[in-house]
Every structure is written in C-alpha cells, then in structure tokens.
Amino acid sequence: MLRERCANDNHGRSVVTVRFCPGCGSVVNARIPVGACRADKHAGMRRTRSTYCVDCGDALALAGSRR
C-alpha cells in the first residue's frame, strides 16, 4: 500500500534482486533476507543516487547520525 507510487523500476519488475526499493525504502522482494551493512557501503550507495539501502532499508541520508 504505497501512498504514492515511486518512480523506481524495481516496483514494475517481475524479478527483483533486492529486498528494498532504493527510491522509497519499501520492501519489493520479501524473500531476500535483510542484509547487514557497514557505513562505508552506505556512503558508496549514496553516490549512486539511492535514497535507501537496498540491502537493509536504512535511509542513506541519515546513515551515521542515527539508526
């Protein structure tokens, strides 16, 4: 139940290889386990224009400040 459909194409795919949508942070494939990420991985993801981590669902903009 999305308030607003996000533009990320993960939502339209039949096969999604990540658990979380990088655009809105919602679960797009619940069969993929939640990953444990380190801060440096999130720092790299931020540069790929992702808003949320596709592995753990954390908001990348907040990484390092609070969980």
Q: Which residues bind Zn ion (CB under 5 A)?
A: 6, 8, 21, 23-24, 37, 53, 55-56
* Residue whose CB is less far from Zn ion, 32 or 37: 37
Nearest one of 22, 18, 33, 24 to 3, comparing CA atoms: 24
Instruction: Write out the DSSP string of 27-67.
Output: BS-TTSPPP---HHHHHHHHTTT-SB-TTT--BGGGTTT--
6 versus 32: smaller Cβ distance to Zn ion: 6
Query: Shortest Cβ distance from residue 58 to Zn ion (Å)?
Result: 5
Specify the residue, 8 or 16, whose C-beta has the smaller distance to Zn ion.
8
